[in-house]
Amino acid sequence: MKKRDIIIVALVLVAAAALWLVPQIVSRGDASVVVVTIDGKEALRAPLERDEVYTFEQEDGSLNVLTVSGGYARMTQANCRDGLCMNMGRTNTTAKTIVCLPHKLVVQLENESAQEEPEELDMVIQ
């Protein structure tokens, strides 16, 4: 095999890998619902396409305001001590989860059609 042939084979392999990978990434990030859990309990399940502001107030005074707009979810207000959840920015993919640790509040995006699959194992916290 000539060196040029090896390069062509390598390119074909890379292209094949890319073709296989791209749909995986796209389908993975294809979120349609926003799910909020507080202390492990589901507090909200709403379509991501609906622009809405959700307020979560807990008995101890913990407050989180989640804004869904233009297909993105973002923590716009929180009275937690670190404010990290607000700094996490917005998300529109199932791969990015917004977490407010002091309030035990997790904002996850899910693909409604893939909802049956157990999500816990491949949960990614960024």
66 binds Zn ion (CB under 5 A): no
100 binds Zn ion (CB under 5 A): yes
Size of the site for Zn ion (CB under 5 A): 4
- Residues numbered 4 to 43 that lie near Zn ion (CB under 5 A) are none
Q: Where are the alpha helices (DSSP H) in the chain?
A: 3-28, 84-87
Decide if 113 contacts 28 (C-beta within 8 A). Answer: no
Give me the least distance between CB of 112 and Zn ion, in Å please. 26
How does DSSP classify residue 117? S
80 binds Zn ion (CB under 5 A): yes
Choose, by CB under 5 A, the member of 73, 85, 88, 107 that binds Zn ion: 85
Mapped onto helix, strand or coil, the DSSP state of residue 112 is helix
